[in-house]
Structure 1
Amino acid sequence: MSETLPATVTAPLSNAQKTQILNLVRRAAKAEILPRFRNLGSHQIDQKSGPQDLVTEADKAAEAMIARGLQIMFPHALIVGEEHASDNPDVIKDIAGAELCFTIDPVDGTWNYANGLTVFGVMVAILRYGQPVFGLLYDPVMNDVIMADHTSPAEMVLPRRIRREVKVSDGGDIADLTGSVPLYLLPEDKREQAAVTLTKFQRCTMFRCACHEFRLLVQGNIDFVLFGKMTPWDQPAGVAVLRQAGGYAAMLDGSDYRGDMTEGYLLCAPNKETWDKLRDVFAFLLETSEETAIAAE
């Protein structure tokens, strides 16, 4: 398992509070996300940084509802939602100093959602001074969730309150691994080499949805995930759950992961031994363009 948190970091939530947050997310999905799914008009979908980076009315409405509910439950918490932070990026600078911070990805996998694919989810995380200590990975279509705080095992909660503990895979040799790599999010000068690298694995794909990539990883259905774009709403919830499912997460350069990071590559694996093997495979991503050119000669 990855590095332990300081002993001064206590359990962030009671079981009753976890249930309250889950119920809030479920209500937001029922009221704002699912009714709009496959019912969006072109005027309800906008681009942010480009055609692959979308936002819909569902993202904005669900985030507003979840943020409002969390603020009522936790009046002194810092609330950082993806859509609010996209318009007010300076709020990210407050995360490191916040004793209690919630990050929200109201519709993770917006491209999938906007194009009628069911691979989308809702993610909520709690950060203490930048450290993820609670994660919630919710699937609105199936109405189930995988969640954990740093003191409890990761578990899936199914409808009718059925609970099931989840565990990562055993990892293994590179040729036997399956994983997810976001080729289109990597620097242009690295994509060709990255594409060739993917042939080393048994299978490699991407789902355009960090929520479901983490859900697959913590259930042992895939062996690794590499993230090429860092945000406070895409990774913290998944890392919190991964650690409690027995997995290992660290930045590709070996440094510790923090939930307020906005640069670098996050590599998630079932254990440190497998992580080390994967790090060696993807180390070329850390090379400068000049170093890459010399290596190719």
Structure 2
Amino acid sequence: MNIDRLAGILRQAAKDEIMPRFRRLDDGDIRTKTNAFDLVTEADTNAERVITAAINEWSPDAIVIGEEAVSANPKLLDADFEDRVVIYVDPVDGTANFAGGLPLFAVMAAVVQNGETVAGVIYDPLGDDTLMAERGCGAFQVFPDGRTVRQSFADPVALEEMGGLASCSYLPDAVRGTVMGNLSRVKMWANYRCAGHEYRFAAAGNVHFLMYNKLMPWDHVAGALIMQEAGAHVARFDGSPYRHTDRGGGLLVASNKDSWQALRDNVFTV
């Protein structure tokens, strides 16, 4: 699987289908899926269609599973493709931001082979650069002129000095308030409503942790691999490794295992 070719497909789709619609959407171009923050736009559907077609032409044996395809046919996530190359695609990660004209959205893809994530790509249409990783090869930010910058997660610090990004909206009601109160124990936390940009920010060493509860593969498979390749400790709340088939159980990313445990014991006590 040529990761540069995959990154090029995402970039071209963004230029053709996403950016021409940014801040130019009509009311009929935006639809609500499950709630006011779960949206789909013409950019999502058209970009996914173009990306899927391009991957199918390039690699016809691969199975492409896009967010909008699953929205139309949820059974796609239950199919057993363990012996196939599977490419998860999020055509516009951060759709609510995109629809609201906020320049925090990304295009993501992850490649899974024989049940193992082997590559991840996160493209920023506004910055026109790509964050990418292949298993065992490190994580890199790649610019249009070919310049590459190796990524490295933040060094560990004491709990009270940590800053991070946490998505609390999908935590169970019974624990959400507790976790949000516990977050006062760290120095800073925020949420961008765009996992792609949160992973990009973290890969460059700008935060000490990330936390998510809802785990859809197009949102996290690419980012989790990139975090590992940038040197972070990545695990579900029970300490087990995160796999592309996981839908729940939470995901916590930290500088190392000790930092992960400190956050788990003192903040994310779900």
For the aligned residues, what is the CA RMSD?
Answer: 1.3
Q: Deviations over 1:126-176 (max 9, x none)?
A: 012332210001100010011011031111101211111110111221111
Name the residue aligned to 2:210: 225
Selected match of 1:65 from 50, 68, 74:
50
Task: Give the distance between the partners of 1:247 and 1:73, measured in 2 at CA.
Answer: 32
> Structure 1 residues 114 and 98 mapped into 2: Cα distance closer, same or farther (>3 Å)?
farther
Q: Tell whether 2:224 aligns with 1:275.
A: no
**Distance apart, 1:96 and its partner CA:** 5.4
**Distance apart, 1:19 and its partner CA:** 2.1
Task: Give the distance between the partners of 2:163 and 2:80, measured in 1 at CA.
Answer: 33
Q: Deviations over 1:44-88 (max 9, x none)?
A: 111111111111010000011111111111111111000001111
Selected match of 2:127 from 135, 138, 142:
142
Task: Tell whether the 8 Å contact from 1:102 to 1:127 is kept in structure 2 after alignment.
Answer: yes
**Distance apart, 1:95 and its partner CA:** 5.3
Task: Give the distance between the partners of 1:108 and 1:98, measured in 2 at CA.
Answer: 27
Task: Read off the aligned partner of 2:158 and give its amino acid letter.
Answer: D
- Could you state the TM-score of these two structures normalised by the residue count of structure 2? 0.96
Task: Tell whether the 8 Å contact from 1:78 to 1:98 is kept in structure 2 after alignment.
Answer: no
Which has the larger Rg?
A: 1
Selected match of 2:38 from 38, 50, 53:
53
Task: Give the distance between the partners of 1:24 and 1:96, measured in 2 at CA.
Answer: 23
Q: Deviations over 1:186-238 (max 9, x none)?
A: 22222221221111111001000000111111110011110021101000000
Name the residue aligned to 2:63: 78
Task: Tell whether the 8 Å contact from 2:185 to 2:267 is kept in structure 1 after alignment.
Answer: no
Secondary structure at 1:234 match in 2 = helix
Selected match of 1:174 from 159, 163, 168:
159
> Structure 1 residues 283 and 181 mapped into 2: Cα distance closer, same or farther (>3 Å)?
closer
Task: Give the distance between the partners of 1:195 and 1:215, measured in 2 at CA.
Answer: 23
Count of residues paired in the alignment: 270
Task: Give the distance between the partners of 2:159 and 2:81, measured in 1 at CA.
Answer: 35
Selected match of 1:38 from 1, 15, 23:
23
Paired residues for 1:124-163 under 5 Å: 124-163=109-148
> Structure 1 residues 56 and 165 mapped into 2: Cα distance closer, same or farther (>3 Å)?
same
Task: Read off the aligned partner of 1:114 and give its amino acid letter.
Answer: A
Q: Tell whether 2:77 aligns with 1:92.
A: yes
Q: Tell whether 2:205 aligns with 1:201.
A: no
Task: Read off the aligned partner of 1:107 and give its amino acid letter.
Answer: V
Task: Tell whether the 8 Å contact from 2:110 to 2:119 is kept in structure 1 after alignment.
Answer: yes
Name the residue aligned to 2:226: 241
Task: Read off the aligned partner of 2:50 and give its amino acid letter.
Answer: M
Name the residue aligned to 1:261: 246
Secondary structure at 1:233 match in 2 = helix
Task: Tell whether the 8 Å contact from 2:3 to 2:119 is kept in structure 1 after alignment.
Answer: no
Task: Give the distance between the partners of 2:104 and 2:184, measured in 1 at CA.
Answer: 25
Q: Deviations over 1:258-277 (max 9, x none)?
A: 01211220111122121111
List runs of 5+ in structure 1 lacking aligned partners.
1-12, 286-297
Task: Tell whether the 8 Å contact from 1:96 to 1:260 is kept in structure 2 after alignment.
Answer: no
Task: Tell whether the 8 Å contact from 1:32 to 1:62 is kept in structure 2 after alignment.
Answer: yes
Task: Read off the aligned partner of 2:179 and give its amino acid letter.
Answer: A
Secondary structure at 2:82 match in 1 = coil
Bigger mean CA deviation after superposition, 137-146 or 272-281: 272-281
Task: Read off the aligned partner of 1:19 and give its amino acid letter.
Answer: D
Q: Tell whether 2:74 aligns with 1:110.
A: no
- Could you state the TM-score of these two structures normalised by the residue count of structure 1? 0.88
Task: Give the distance between the partners of 2:115 and 2:36, measured in 1 at CA.
Answer: 31
Task: Tell whether the 8 Å contact from 2:168 to 2:212 is kept in structure 1 after alignment.
Answer: no
Identity of aligned residues (%): 36
